[in-house]
Amino acid sequence: MELDEGKQKFIQSWGTLGSNWGINRTMAQIHALLLICPEALSAMEIKEQLNISMGNTNMNIRSLIDWGLVYKKLKPGERKEFFVAEKDMWEVVKKIVIQRKKRELEPVIKMLDEISAVQGHCEESDEFCKVVKDIKLFSNKADSILDKLIKADSNWFMKSFINLIK
Amino acid sequence: MELDEGKQKFIQSWGTLGSNWGINRTMAQIHALLLICPEALSAMEIKEQLNISMGNTNMNIRSLIDWGLVYKKLKPGERKEFFVAEKDMWEVVKKIVIQRKKRELEPVIKMLDEISAVQGHCEESDEFCKVVKDIKLFSNKADSILDKLIKADSNWFMKSFINLIK
DNA sequence: TTTTACTTTCAAAAGTTTCTGAAAGTTACA
DNA sequence: TGTAACTTTCAGAAACTTTTGAAAGTAAAA
């Protein structure tokens, strides 16, 4: 297989994967491009390689920086900004977990706390409270596991998990 | 808080959560409704409680059954079908993991195998191969962990994980 | 201070996904 | 076999998301 064909396949698939993970297609494609690039790229180079508009390029580079998946890199003597991707896969997963936990798990836990104030006087409210209690327990457990994963360093996690699954 | 207000909040939030997880909003809302319902409901009752069309109701009940999140239940003497949700949260998570693994992780692993045939003769292809190899390693690890999680039973998983993170 | 090289914003356009409801299909019983 | 009760399908409509590009903003260098 030719390098260019491989690059295209990789960028397209990473885009599809991303859009299933709350990362929009272009955002994931930019990340893919930077991942496989040995050099930092400028916004213009990214725009041209992916054939997308300036606005789209800029917006999605900013989102990637917000998520912590891409870093700005200034080259001495150059005025424009260059960008590099976070290449450690465990770091990438961690950054995504941090964002999604904040955006999804935390609001759910808040909602569950609110609705567990429902008073139970009938079969329907008993069932409701039971389900809410179950989900709360599960979510809190997930929250604490994710916190620990995020804080644990790459090696600790890998070693323990590998031991666990062997 | 009143039961009805709690129910509404729960159904809405579950819908939002679902749509971030490859489960469309209505599909997640139907699941939420069935989760908190002590009785099996018919398609008509679901349609009416959620105020959605017949077609939408039917389509999403079928998807929920495909995902294994909802079961058909026939009542003796009744011609129509009734539906109940899977209520064990760990089962719910497992079913979602099974589907998403099949739809997302497996195609990525296939793609990575294809593109690792790229020949390296320059800095660019070396970097490409290195990144692909890294992601392949990571994905295969994830795949095997998920397989083991899916096969392990609820208690084993919980006990080990709790021990691991304490 | 003016020019130039870049970055950011945002309203409208394009693209994608989801929902509707009428029509067709199925099944069970009289 | 006919009819009524229920389920499924699908094409178009509606809702939502992403992308574009022109215009405005910013800051370094001339």
Work out the percent of chain B whose per-residue pLDDT is above 70.
Answer: 92
Q: Are residues A93 and A55 in the same domain?
A: no
Q: How far is A152 from chain B (nearest CA, A)?
A: 10
**Nearest CA to B14 among B94, B82, B85?**
B85
pLDDT of residue A156: 65
CB contact under 8 A, A104 and B17: yes
> Number of folded domains in chain B?
2
Q: How far apart (Å, rounded) are the C-alpha atoms in residues B77 and B74?
A: 9
Q: Comparing A71-80, B96-105, B157-166, which segment has the lowest mean pLDDT? A: B157-166
**Nearest CA to B152 among B67, B93, B87, B65?**
B93
DSSP class of B42: E
Closest-CA residue of A relative to B152 is A165
pLDDT at A78 over 80: yes
Q: Are residues B7 and B80 in the same domain?
A: yes
pLDDT digits 0-9 by tens, A127-148: 999 999 999 988 998 888 888 7
Which amino acid is it at A52? I
**Nearest CA to A128 among B159, B36, B15, B114?**
B36
Q: Are residues A64 and A76 in the same domain?
A: yes
CB contact under 8 A, A104 and B20: yes
- pLDDT band for position A160 (50/70/90)? low
The mean per-residue pLDDT over the stretch B100-117 comes to 92
The C1' atom of C4 and the CA atom of A74 lie apart, in whole Å, by 19
Which of A61, A85, A109 is the endpoint of a domain? A85
Nearest residue, CB atoms, A89 vs list B22, B138, B161 = B138
**Angle, helix B54-67 to helix B43-50, in steps of 10 degrees:** 110
Q: Are residues B76 and B21 in the same domain?
A: yes
Q: Are residues A95 and A80 in the same domain?
A: no
pLDDT at B46 over 60: yes
CA angle A148, A154, A20 (to 5 degrees): 75
Domain of residue A139, residue span = 89-165
CB contact under 8 A, A38 and B126: yes
pLDDT of residue A155: 60
Nearest residue, CB atoms, A1 vs list B38, B104, B115 = B115
